[in-house]
Amino acid sequence: INAEYGVIISQEAPDEANPGKTKSEQKKFWWFGGGIDLTPVYPKKHQVIAFHKHMKKVCERNHQNYLDYKDACDKYFFLKHRGEMRGVGGIFFDHLNTTSTQKTKRQLLDFIIDVGMSFNDLYRPFLVDNKALVASHDMREFQLFRRSRYVEFNLLYDRGTLFGLQSQGRVESILMSMPATAKWRYNWSPPAVPEGNPEQELVTYYLQPQNWADMPDIIQSENPTSSNQVSRTPSFLPFAVPAIIFGFLLLLDRK
């Protein structure tokens, strides 16, 4: 799970018509931005559905539009050169302020806090359900291969990474979300076999936009012949995203 939240405060540039305007007279701009998304390697469908339903509830109780934020997340975390999403999505928002949302600062801050405080409830099921599972060598190799997609997104599209590098910030801090290990395979894709396999299904189904929150709940003991289960190997892996970023900057504009 990757989660990032922040508030940006920007000072208005000096007015060319009034270059003598003091700093205190310059207008300040602020907005909230961030989100939370899930990047599994061997997903379990009932967990993905539960994750999105939880995020929908958080948005609805704060009078925020879950569908807008989900759509923004699907588009933002899409690797154009690969034709696939980075993961199974979540929510993503930017430039939330009183003008764009008709909400007060307090209401927007409460929403950000609510999303942040949901992290334990969102992540705990993956730890509890998957902590005792053992992955095969092939599953580990596929995880390393999928991590290369994570690297590609961070270096090519991630706004925070690009902003940090362009502003000549501390490189080690900017790249802290990168996986420690990753692998690339030349022109490789999961083999298509008649009986199907979880690696192929990840790309063809899970990494394409789905209306997860509208799907019916699935009990944990899924049918092994369901769309995300095959008999040859467990169809999940402990969610080992190499780094969990939880930037939570609460720097409010005080007047």
- Mind spelling out the 3-state secondary structure of 168-187? CCCHHHHCCCCCCCCCCCCC
Strand 2-11 and strand 246-248: pairing?
parallel
Tell me the mean pLDDT in the region 238-245: 33
105-117 vs 45-61: helix crossing angle, rounded to 10 = 160
- What is the structure's pLDDT at 130? 87
**Average model confidence (pLDDT) across the chain:** 81
Question: For residue 77, what are its two tokens?
Answer: 């975390």
Task: Taking the CA atoms of 61, 122, 145 and 218 in sequence, report the sign of the dihedral they define.
Answer: negative
- What is the structure's pLDDT at 245? 33
- What is the structure's pLDDT at 112? 93
- What is the structure's pLDDT at 163? 85
Tens digit of pLDDT for each residue in 20-32? 555 555 567 788 9
Tell me the mean pLDDT in the region 221-249: 37
Tell me the mean pLDDT in the region 111-119: 93
**How confident is residue 150, by pLDDT bands cut at 50, 70 and 90?**
very high
- What is the structure's pLDDT at 41? 94
Tell me the mean pLDDT in the region 70-83: 96
- What is the structure's pLDDT at 6? 67
Q: Whole-angstrom Cα distance, residue 67 to residue 151?
A: 27
Higher-scoring residue by pLDDT: 15, 142: 142
Higher-scoring residue by pLDDT: 57, 1: 57
- What is the structure's pLDDT at 29? 77
> Does the structure show a pLDDT above 90 at 58?
yes
- What is the structure's pLDDT at 246? 34
Higher-scoring residue by pLDDT: 195, 14: 195
